[in-house]
Chains A and B, each alone.
Chain A
Amino acid sequence: DVKVTQSSRYLVKRTGEKVFLECVQDMDHENMFWYRQDPGLGLRLIYFSYDVKMKEKGDIPEGYSVSREKKERFSLILESASTNQTSMYLCASSWPQRGVDNEQFFGPGTRLTVL
């Protein structure tokens, strides 16, 4: 079974803190994604990566950055957390098919609260 794991299930941070959310997948997927999920808004794509050291902005990249140093690991960074970044963060990975998304496998999510 594909497994996507996220470093924390729940996280509480203070405004201005630097926050790291880690995601690891064990199926040798080339594609990895970071989403945030808010009530009534569905999944919104923050950043994605189709290869190591490669990253592309999604629909809402402002206030976030990412790092993909190894194929299995994709990190989401909040440089200076703000209260409007309180959300559920979901990581996903998918089969290698450049330029086209396939079925995405999701991690359990990290619920981040910024105070």
Chain B
Amino acid sequence: GESVGLHLPTLSVQEGDNSIINCAYSNSASDYFIWYKQESGKGPQFIIDIRSNMDKRQGQRVTVLLNKTVKHLSLQIAATQPGDSAVYFCAERLEKLTFGTGTRLTIIP
């Protein structure tokens, strides 16, 4: 079956533009989702989460969208900055967290 993963392994975005990172998750019964950011040489950091009873959640410059019909999760980053360069990966929870492989986001100055 499908596994948690991302449509694109790399993404390059001009500084100041918006970024959209996508994630296909595997289990329609998953009830909780998290986006993590991992900078080079560091451990993953929590960005934002969303529960399955929601479609959208906003944070500071980030928005997560959940489409349960197609089992799709996206992370939108507004007005990207050089510090946004990192690997981003999603996680889904069906009792246990399962992590995707990640997308490398590069911000072009």
Seen from chain A, the residues whose Cβ lies within 8 Å of a Cβ on chain B are 4, 40-43, 45, 90, 92, 99-109
B97 touches A101 (CB 8 A): yes
A104 touches B43 (CB 8 A): no
Residues of A within 8 A of B42 (CB): 108-109
CB distance from B57 to the nearest CB of A (A): 13
* B-side contacts of A108, CB under 8 Å: 41-43
Interface residues of B (CB under 8 A from A): 4, 32, 34, 36, 41-46, 49, 89, 93, 95-97, 99-102
A101 near B96 with CB under 8 A, answer: yes
User: Is chain B's interface secondary structure helix, strand, loop, or mixed overall?
Assistant: strand
Contact A101 B101 (CB under 8 A): no
Nearest residue in B to A40 (C-beta to C-beta)? B101
Query: In the complex, which residue of chain B has the Cβ closest to the Cβ of A33?
Result: B97
Specify which chain B residues have a CB less than 8 angstroms from the CB of A109 in the assembled complex: 41-43
- Contact B43–A43 (Cβ < 8 Å): no
> Nearest chain B CB to A3's CB is how many angstroms away?
11
**B45 and A106 contacting across the interface, CB-CB below 8 Å:** yes
For A90, give the chain B residue with the smallest CB separation.
B43
Closest residue of A by beta carbon distance from B4: A42
Q: How far is the CA of A42 from the CA of B97 in the complex (A)?
A: 12
Q: Give the chain A neighbours of B49 by CB distance below 8 A.
A: 103
**A44–B93 Cα gap in the complex (Å)?**
14
